[in-house]
Amino acid sequence: MSNTKVNLTTQNRLIITGLILSTVLIVAIAVFAIFNIQKKLNIGYQNFGQVISKTLAIESIEITRGLNIEETKRILKAHSDVILKSHNDIVYIEFRDAAGNIIYSGRNPHKGEDKVPSITVNSPMITSDGINMGSVTVGLSGNIINEISTTTRASLLFVFTVAWVVFAFVILINTYLITRELRILHEGVSKISHGAFGYKIEGKDVSTEVQELFDAFNDMSNRLHIYEEQNIEQLTLERNKLEAVLLCIANGVVVCDNYDNVVLVNNHAQQLLEVEEKQLLDTKIQQYMDTEGNYCFKDKIEEFKDTPLEEIQNKPIEFNIEIDKRVIKSVISPMFTRNNDYVGYIIVLIDVTKETEMDQMRAHFISNVSHELRTPVTVLRSYIDTLYNYGDEFDIATKKEFIATLNQEIIRLNRMVNDILDFSRLDANATLEKSPNNIMELVESCANQVQVLLKEHNLKISISKSDDIPVATFNYNSIERALINYISNAIKYSPENGEIKIAVTTLNNDNDIQITVTDQGCGIAPEHQKKVFDRFFRVENDTHTVKGTGLGLHLVKTTIEKHHGGKVFVVSEPGKGSTFGFIIPVVPMENKIKMDK
């Protein structure tokens, strides 16, 4: 049930009261007028009856003078009939003698027998001599007076009703005209309050004061419009600046409003989420699906919404999502206006695939190093224990064999410790002392150092070289370790009885020297080839089949590229073998600069 309450203004109440009062007044005047007219008519009618009865009395005396009773009756009847026929309003005429006996009584044939007159008028019949001859009574129907009063009433009612309607109409029109200006002003104010700045109001036939008010309003509206335009320009500028910053930012940024609708996605976010802007804009971020078909933001956004804002401000929600094998760190933080009103949230996306891989590799490295250190130490301990306890019982050859194995393990341990030390030294900005050296001597020395290993694996090694290899300036020890790394890897990954080829050539008009180590080993899959020089990277990281720390090739790359301005490369075919190589300039860059100076 609706409970509608009409609120009337004072003005409306005045109008209604005025209308009611005027209605009451008009009705009272009408009733009074009708009552008065009716009264006057009744008196007039009464007089009319008197005149008729008096005239009849006089006439009757005259026409019956000297007649006997029978003739008198006949004459009176004839006279009455003529009058009754000609006067529709007379119901009956009655003549009586002086004693009051009826001489003649005649009724109007049009009125019927039972018609009761509304007025009866009686006049005595007195002769000029003063003799009472009787009386005449006339009954009048009152029809005329009724008709007249009905017509008069109707006319008066009509006149007063018309007068009332005109009066009411005039009042309403007047009220409408008075409030028209207020309504125009009200409409203008309402438009302005709804933001239609610049809206103008116009008034025709208004007073000067009102026109001034209208002009002031229009002026205010115009000023508001100009202010709004300036403000919009400023806001647009600010927004564009902000958008430009967000769009260019190196991290992905997705901005959502209070209703989870995406309102901004920068280019980087589109790349990371592998979507186009139009696919994401104006959609709910919870509906975004990763490559696996999971709604990867849904749960975290719910968690974000369930957490109090003060808490989330200090500690934004962080989580990782995976899109097409890339790990993307996502951080959800709330957004506030300057007035501290919450308006939505922002999701920052950072590609942490490399860092995650690096973390994994670092973990593998730690486990590899500890594994690698434990193995030679265990071998050394058990061999030394055996020699210490039972050494006297062994012949010289067995003792030599034991010592050779101990030596091998110590060399391996030493190399590993050197690798780890070099890793921190070479990765830092330490400069390596360089001196002119014969590269062929270095190559041959490396080949000699791995003789024992070669023998262990039944492998052959060959060295080829182009003519006139120039003397080059480099850090002997680090280049030696780089080459030893290549050769020991080749030994590690070569099958029994395989051959390892070392080739030394000059390139670029004898300005560069290239050394390659080719084996017939397992080779490296193309997707791993770009990564083998990364630190901690090992193809066998997950299997532990071949020993290593994943540092060797990274050290080679650092030595060659960072410290000698050269280049490392690998060419490999899985199942067939690999060629690892490096190129170093004959004269290092820093020496060239010195020479130029």
Contacts with ligand ADP, residue ranges (CB under 6 A): 485, 489-490, 493, 519, 521-522, 524, 532, 537-540, 548-554, 578
Closest CB to ligand ADP among 75 and 570? 570
Residue that has been written with the tokens 């299997």 in this structure: 543
| Spatial distance between the Cα atoms of 312 and 296, rounded to a whole number of angstroms | 20
Residue 488: Cβ within 10 Å count = 19
Q: And the tokens for 63?
A: 């026409």
Closest CB to ligand ADP among 554 and 563? 554
The least CB distance from residue 361 to ligand ADP, in Å, is 11
CA dihedral angle for residue 421, residue 423, residue 428, residue 430, rounded to 10 degrees? 60
Closest CB to ligand ADP among 521 and 588? 521
The least CB distance from residue 527 to ligand ADP, in Å, is 12
Closest CB to ligand ADP among 562 and 592? 562
What is the rounded radius of gyration, in angstroms, for the C-alpha atoms of the chain?
65
User: What HEC string does 325-369 produce?
Assistant: CEEEEEEEEEEECCCCCEEEEEEEEEECHHHHHHHHHHHHHHHHH
Instruction: Answer whether 64's CB lies under 8 Å from 95's CB.
Output: no
Q: Which DSSP string do the residues of 528-575 spell out, in sequence order?
A: HHTTTTSTT--TTTTT--S---S-HHHHHHIIIIIHHS-EEEEEEETT
Closest CB to ligand ADP among 72 and 572? 572
The least CB distance from residue 507 to ligand ADP, in Å, is 22
The least CB distance from residue 524 to ligand ADP, in Å, is 5
Q: And the tokens for 322?
A: 């995976």
Closest CB to ligand ADP among 224 and 570? 570
Closest CB to ligand ADP among 118 and 541? 541
**Angle at CA 539, nearest 5°, toward 536 and 544?**
85
Burial group, residue 569, by CB count within 10 angstroms (0-12, 13-18, 19+): middle
| Spatial distance between the Cα atoms of 21 and 124, rounded to a whole number of angstroms | 53
Closest CB to ligand ADP among 376 and 552? 552
When CB distances to ligand ADP are compared, the closest residue is 548
Q: And the tokens for 312?
A: 């989330």
Burial group, residue 496, by CB count within 10 angstroms (0-12, 13-18, 19+): exposed
Closest CB to ligand ADP among 22 and 541? 541
The least CB distance from residue 281 to ligand ADP, in Å, is 45
| Spatial distance between the Cα atoms of 571 and 569, rounded to a whole number of angstroms | 7
The least CB distance from residue 325 to ligand ADP, in Å, is 20
What distance lies between CA 208 and its chain's CA centroid? 48
The least CB distance from residue 570 to ligand ADP, in Å, is 8
Q: Which DSSP string do the residues of 22-62 spell out, in sequence order?
A: HHHHHHHHHHHHHHHHHHHHHHHHHHHHHHHHHHHHHHHHH
The least CB distance from residue 452 to ligand ADP, in Å, is 18
The least CB distance from residue 436 to ligand ADP, in Å, is 28
The least CB distance from residue 516 to ligand ADP, in Å, is 11
Closest CB to ligand ADP among 513 and 539? 539
* Cα–Cα distance list, 426 to 11, 478, 508, 591 (Å): 96, 10, 27, 20
